[in-house]
């Protein structure tokens, strides 16, 4: 079967990686296949690359028949040639990702006409869903809240809005969010899936593995079940352009990005995913939320990660760890609410540090506080908080969060840091 390697343009963020992978392919085919395999793993590529499939290739890529045949043919050869297969798959991935990314026409905040955008997206949702029904996942964050309002405006009662109680949210979050949307005429169904998520996260410490466990539990198990029961064929979600950028660049695997990794949600999960906000960044989403009539407390709410508090626990996610970071989060958000910062959070570290409590040595945990100034989350700088504010914040955390003996403040920038720790 004939196959022609797709043409890759050697410029942009993937240029050096493409060149190196071509070198690895030549090494495997001409010199030493085993060495090629070693070199692939020596690249230290993001683990998310290998999580989308149990096999060491991007098997879930939307390849054509010839591409898939060639990949399978190489995989069926000696183990040494697997390095070549991985290299080939990486090239196909980069090609697919760059093509998909290029198809997203970014609408910058300064160019956004919110009335036009809302009309277009409402019409697109109606056209996609037709006479059927759709489901949307509401978390209370600005992205999912804006999508909920767009879906409600497009479909009315044919939109089923679900809040998944995963046990990873802020204290009282599901009930508070449901109350806000009830006042806006949107009924929110709260689904208790706490046990499923905690079971899925048990024993996992790697950040990308945690994200993947949450992704699979959310989309395949919980929503898969809801979709099957409702017979809905569409899920509305609040993926924004920054989520795509970070996933494709390998910074972190965002739980809500699929097509850009070559994953077809319909064949993988059994339903189509609609992403009305994928052309926008956070500042554009906030503008749209305001135009849709969301209360300011919703469209100007500080961002909250899709993996929720699991993204703020370094190490294994347990109920005890969740209780600690949830309490610390409440204190940080109360103390820094008037700071004017883009985002602020508490991070629970896995390592233990020496402290003192009641005149005795206490080998306890450490909370890291992060507070960021940013516009669109692509770059960020630490907020220059007054020392008195930090001092009072630390004192309350040490007093109110059991087992914590140290509080630190992060002063890195994004990049090289990221806003969330995990």
In this structure, are 234 and 90 located in the same domain? no
CB 317 within 8 A of CB 338: no
Name the residue range of residue 366's domain.
313-409
Q: What's the CA gap between 177 and 182, in Å, rounded? A: 9
- The percent of residues in the chain predicted with pLDDT above 90, rounded, is 48
The band of 67, judged by pLDDT with boundaries at 50, 70 and 90, is very low
Q: What's the CA gap between 350 and 302, in Å, rounded? A: 25
Domain closes at, from 102, 121, 150 = 102
Q: What's the DSSP call for residue 303?
A: P
In this structure, are 332 and 255 located in the same domain? no
In this structure, are 243 and 390 located in the same domain? no
In this structure, are 125 and 256 located in the same domain? yes
pLDDT tens-digit series, residues 194-243: 999 999 999 999 888 898 899 889 888 888 788 778 888 888 988 888 87
- Token pair listed for 80: 């040494």
Q: What's the CA gap between 223 and 160, in Å, rounded? A: 12
72 domain-assigned: yes
The band of 44, judged by pLDDT with boundaries at 50, 70 and 90, is very low
In this structure, are 83 and 143 located in the same domain? no
In this structure, are 244 and 124 located in the same domain? yes
Q: What's the CA gap between 109 and 165, in Å, rounded? A: 32
- Token pair listed for 111: 């160019």
In this structure, are 59 and 29 located in the same domain? yes
pLDDT tens-digit series, residues 257-301: 454 444 455 555 667 888 899 899 999 999 999 999 999 988 888
Q: What's the CA gap between 72 and 85, in Å, rounded? A: 8
- The percent of residues in the chain predicted with pLDDT above 70, rounded, is 70
Mean pLDDT of 300-320: 90
CATH number at residue 358: 3.30.300.10
CB 272 within 8 A of CB 310: no
318 domain-assigned: yes
In this structure, are 234 and 325 located in the same domain? no
CATH number at residue 197: 3.40.50.620
Domain closes at, from 102, 127, 144 = 102
In this structure, are 284 and 338 located in the same domain? no
In this structure, are 213 and 141 located in the same domain? yes
7 domain-assigned: no
What is the model's pLDDT at position 348?
A: 97
In this structure, are 210 and 286 located in the same domain? yes
pTM flag (> 0.85): no
422 domain-assigned: no
The band of 193, judged by pLDDT with boundaries at 50, 70 and 90, is very high
Domain closes at, from 254, 273, 299 = 299
345 domain-assigned: yes
- Token pair listed for 371: 């507070």
pLDDT tens-digit series, residues 87-127: 554 554 445 444 444 467 889 999 999 999 999 999 999 99
Query: How many structural domains is the chain composed of?
Result: 3
What is the model's pLDDT at position 265?
A: 53
In this structure, are 287 and 147 located in the same domain? yes
What is the model's pLDDT at position 269?
A: 62
């Amino acid at each position: 079967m004939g196959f022609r390697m797709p043409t890759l343009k050697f410029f942009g963020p993937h240029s050096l990686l493409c060149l190196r992978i071509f070198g690895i392919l030549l090494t495997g085919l001409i010199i030493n296949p085993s060495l090629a395999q070693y070199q692939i793993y020596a690249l230290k590529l993001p683990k998310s690359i290998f999580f989308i499939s149990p096999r060491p290739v991007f098997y879930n890529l939307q390849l054509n028949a010839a591409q898939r045949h060639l990949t399978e043919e190489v995989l069926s050869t000696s183990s040494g040639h697997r390095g070549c297969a991985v290299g080939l798959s990486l090239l196909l991935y980069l090609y697919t990702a760059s093509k998909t990314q290029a198809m997203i026409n970014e609408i910058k905040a300064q160019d956004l006409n919110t009335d036009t955008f809302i009309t277009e997206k409402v019409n697109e949702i109606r056209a996609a869903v037709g006479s059927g029904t759709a489901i949307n996942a509401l978390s209370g964050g600005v992205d999912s809240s804006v999508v909920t309002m767009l879906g409600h405006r497009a479909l009315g009662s044919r939109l089923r809005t679900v809040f998944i109680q995963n046990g990873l949210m802020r204290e009282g979050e599901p009930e508070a969010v449901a109350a806000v949307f009830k006042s806006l005429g949107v009924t929110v169904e709260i689904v208790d899936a706490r046990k499923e998520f905690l079971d899925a996260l048990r024993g996992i410490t790697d950040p990308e593995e945690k994200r993947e466990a949450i992704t699979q539990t959310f989309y395949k198990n919980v929503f898969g079940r809801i979709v099957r029961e409702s017979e809905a064929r569409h899920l509305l979600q609040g993926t924004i352009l920054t989520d795509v950028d970070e996933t494709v660049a390998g910074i972190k695997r965002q739980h809500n990005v699929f097509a850009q990794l070559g994953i077809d949600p319909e064949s993988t999960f059994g339903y189509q995913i609609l992403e009305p906000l994928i052309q926008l960044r956070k500042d554009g989403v906030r503008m749209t939320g305001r135009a849709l009539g969301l209360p300011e407390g919703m469209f100007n709410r500080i961002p909250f990660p899709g993996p929720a508090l699991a993204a703020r626990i370094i190490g294994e996610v347990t109920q005890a760890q969740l209780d600690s970071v949830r309490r610390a989060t409440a204190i940080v958000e109360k103390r820094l609410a008037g700071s004017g910062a883009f985002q602020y959070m508490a991070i629970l570290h896995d390592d233990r540090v020496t402290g003192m409590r009641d005149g005795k040595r206490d080998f306890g945990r450490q909370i890291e506080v992060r507070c960021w100034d940013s516009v669109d989350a692509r770059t960020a700088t630490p907020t220059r908080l007054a020392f008195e504010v930090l001092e009072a914040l630390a004192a309350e955390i040490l007093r109110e969060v059991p087992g914590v003996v140290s509080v630190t403040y992060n002063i890195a920038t994004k990049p090289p840091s990221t806003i969330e720790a995990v």
